[in-house]
Amino acid sequence: MANAPFPEITLFITGPTYIRPEVRAAGAWPEYGHRDAENAKRFESIFHNLGVIADLPADYRTILFLGSGSTAMEASIRSLVAEDETVLHATVGAFGDLWHKMSVANGKKTVHLAFEPGRPVDPAVLEAAMAEHKPAVVAITHNETSTGLANDVPALCKIIKAHGALALVDGVSIFGGAPCPIAASGCDFYATATQKALGLHAGFGIGFVSPAAIEKARHVTCRGHATDILSHLGRAEKFQTQSTPNGALGNQMYLQLRYIVEEEGLAARFARHEAMREMTVAFVKTLPGYALFAAEGFRSPTVTAVAAAPGMAAADLRAIKEALRPRGYLFDPGYAKLNEDLEAAGQRPIFRIGHMGDITPAMLEAYLKDLGEVLVR
């Protein structure tokens, strides 16, 4: 960018992500009033295209929360878990654990069903936990950003719904990079955000809400204000947000979602992400001593986690990050807390390769070439 005071660095981390020049430029479009007709010119299209990307059933509602994916996730807990109910969190990594932490922080009665990082939720274990704890709400992760693992959401939701519980799903780092499982799973709340596979800046948490969840929220007290699903619905009907949004992001989102739906097309976008996963998997298999972290068959199309070579420490991964910076890349040395836990257990730390949003196969190929040279050193 001309006259920018900062260096141009292509982000291969897991969010925020690379933003196309056209999207950057849209941030300088004219400002507007968020309760004015100009707002609808942007946000009617935004709400519509989010529904298209989600393949959203007609009776579900879309909410834009000011904040990030975590905002939407906390709203689901505040609005959908009653005081005398249990929420079960089936987690496969750091961000599933974070969702559980939110429930604890909000005073909810919780059960934490934790699986080994890099391994999916075991349906049989989930079934047994449902029978034992009888939770009213269950929270699962579609795409675990810390480990590069994607769960089989429809299969897990089938179990959850069979027990009469509401199913909440974290899809923050995959929405816009793979087909959305809302219709296939019947989940009641699907949370995502702008700053990952949609290729935008952070600023909105996105919630897709079922009729059952809306009805349930009416019977839950102490839902908060910004976290109250019901308080957002009236504004959403008018293609608005509950309070003042980031106007520049609104302009960028209008442009980007139209691009995703009308220009690139969803089938092509999803295929591109699958192709980049396969490129990355093939690359890792050429590296002596390194290994793919997520279980085969459950590897994410948007982020790949790699176990470092024997003898490498998390400090070595941080050094690789700085070695790649002069080459114009931001390398992801892994989720710090997870690496601390892995090293404490005598296991190898991991690094991550984000291949989501508007990263292209050609961009990824160039990055993997440079990354391979640095790793060999």
pLDDT tens across 25-34, in order? 999 999 999 9
Assess contact for 272 and 358: CB atoms under 8 A.
no
Q: Which domain holds residue 306?
A: 10-15+266-376
Considering the chain, what is the average pLDDT of its residues?
97
Which pLDDT tens digit goes with each residue over 256-292? 999 999 999 999 999 999 999 999 999 999 999 999 9
The Cα–Cα gap between 180 and 190 comes to 9
Q: Do 292 and 211 reside in the same domain of the chain? A: no
Assess contact for 302 and 177: CB atoms under 8 A.
yes
Q: What is the pLDDT of residue 158?
A: 98
pLDDT class of 1 with cuts at 50, 70, 90: very low
Q: What is the pLDDT of residue 43?
A: 98
Query: Is 303 a domain residue?
Result: yes
Q: Which of 264, 279, 281 is nearest to 358 (CA)?
A: 264
Q: Domain boundary residue among 236, 261, 286?
A: 261
- Give the pTM: 0.97
Q: Do 83 and 193 reside in the same domain of the chain? A: yes
Residue 135 has pLDDT above 60, yes or no: yes
Q: Which of 259, 211, 253, 251 is nearest to 233 (CA)?
A: 211
Q: Do 139 and 217 reside in the same domain of the chain? A: yes
Per cent of the chain over pLDDT 70 is: 99
Q: Do 57 and 28 reside in the same domain of the chain? A: yes
Pairing verdict, β 189-193 and 109-114: unpaired
Which pLDDT tens digit goes with each residue over 173-185? 999 999 999 999 9
The Cα–Cα gap between 154 and 231 comes to 29
The owner of tokens 């994410």 is 300
Return all residues near 147 (Cβ < 8 A) that are at least 6 apart. Answer: 92, 93, 94, 117, 118, 293, 294, 305, 338, 350
Mean pLDDT of 243-265: 98
Tally of CB atoms within 10 A around 30: 7
Q: What is the pLDDT of residue 4?
A: 81
The Cα–Cα gap between 16 and 249 comes to 14
Mean pLDDT of 342-353: 97
Q: Count up the domains in the chain and report the number.
A: 2
Tokens of 84: 């005398």
Query: Is 5 a domain residue?
Result: no
Domain of 207, CATH number, reads 3.40.640.10
Q: What is the pLDDT of residue 2?
A: 58
Tokens of 256: 């980007």
Residue 130 has pLDDT above 60, yes or no: yes
Per cent of the chain over pLDDT 90 is: 98
Q: Do 41 and 145 reside in the same domain of the chain? A: yes
Query: Is 40 a domain residue?
Result: yes
Q: Do 63 and 144 reside in the same domain of the chain? A: yes
